[in-house]
Amino acid sequence: MNIVETLSSIPLFLGLPENQLVELSRIVVDKRFKRGDIIFSEGDEGIGFYIVISGKIKIYKISPDGKEQILHILGAGEPFGEIALMGEQFYPAHAEAMDKSRIFFFPKVPFASLIKQNPSLALNMIAILFFRLHEFTVMIESLSLKDVPTRLADYLIYLSERNGGVSELKLDIPKTQLANLLGTIPETLSRIFAKMTKQGLIKTDGPNIKILDYHALKELSTAEKRLSDIGELF
């Protein structure tokens, strides 16, 4: 697949006329990263933005004492570092490859002028930003208003529903990373997996998780705490 074809399959570039795709193909830089490579760090000058072609990228913050909070895990077709497109900006978080990844890089200046010229590109960008904003809303709600068991239940339900409601899941990230995504630490996550297993909600075997009691998990995920109804869950 050539560059223009690849570009045309990216949601952000949907509906772009051929000539603009060609123009994009002239400014794009095709980059490869291996697991653990840092793409940019928080505070780096925003020299452009990126789109994942293959592989997996995590965007994350780190506290002074080393705790990590993952903001996003991005897969094929998803952009990141878009903040670089705004005036004089620095990246507000770190970006690291979680697997061998292929990334397209778009330098700030030529891309910014493209977006100014092409209304449908601007509208696509707006759509993506709205989506991001919504994701963050959910994350804030989750971190502030839900405890860790509930956040894990949410995540398992999400994984299940994303695959059409299957009960056999396979985590595609290490549990340590999942802890960082859910805003906790590996020890706590491990204990909650153990407790859910003991209660017959799930069964785990390494990265494979089987949901045994979908209903109870869903209750935990959505319902008001009614210990009297549910029994002492945690």
Partner DNA sequence: CGTGCGCTTGACTTTTTTCAATAAAGGTGG
Partner DNA sequence: CCACCTTTATTGAAAAAAGTCAAGCGCACG
Query: Which chain residues interact with its own copies by CB under 8 A?
Result: 61-65, 67, 69, 71, 82-83, 85-86, 92-93, 115-116, 119, 122-123, 125-127, 129-130, 132-134, 136-141, 143-146, 183, 223-225
The distance of closest approach from Cβ of residue 230 to DNA in the complex, given in angstroms and rounded to an integer, is 12
Q: Which is nearer to DNA, 44 or 147 (CB)?
A: 147
Our CB check for its own copies shows the closer of 3 and 112 to be 112
Among left, alpha and beta (phi > 0; psi -120 to 50; other), residue 78 is beta
User: Which residues contact DNA (rule: CB under 7 A)?
Assistant: 65, 67, 147-149, 174-177, 183-191, 193-194, 204, 206-207, 234
Query: Exposure string (b/e) for 6-26, b if CB count within 10 Å is 16 or more?
Result: bbbebebbeebeeebbebbbe
**Residue with structure tokens 């004492």?**
65
Instruction: Provide CB contacts within 8 A for 46, sequence distance 6+.
Output: 81, 83, 84, 85, 86, 89, 90, 91, 108
CB-wise, 119 or 206, nearer to DNA?
A: 206
Residue 157: name the closest of 206, 214, 74 by CA.
214
224: alpha, beta or left, given left = phi > 0 and alpha = psi -120 to 50? beta
Residue placing its CB nearer to its own copies in the complex, 87 or 206: 87
Least distance (Å) between residue 48 CB and DNA: 29
At residue 225, what is the residue type? Answer: K
Instruction: Considering the complex, state which of residue 19 and residue 63 has its C-beta at the smaller distance from DNA.
Output: 63
| Residue 206: contacted member of DNA, its own copies, none (CB under 5 to 8 Å, by partner type) | DNA
**Residue 93, binding choice from DNA, its own copies, none, Cβ under 5 to 8 Å by partner class:** its own copies
188 contact choice in DNA, its own copies, none (CB below 5 to 8 Å, kind-dependent):
DNA
User: Is the CB of 47 or the CB of 85 nearer to its own copies?
Assistant: 85
With CB under 5 to 8 Å by kind, the binding choice for 176 among DNA, its own copies, none is DNA
Q: What DSSP line would sit under 135-194, residue for residue?
A: HHHHHHHHHHHS-HHHHHHHHHHHHHHHTTS-SEEE-SS-HHHHHHHHTS-HHHHHHHHH
Shortest distance in whole angstroms from residue 95 CB to its own copies: 13
CA distance linking residue 42 with residue 84, whole number of Å: 12
State the minimum distance, in angstroms, from the CB of residue 23 to DNA.
40
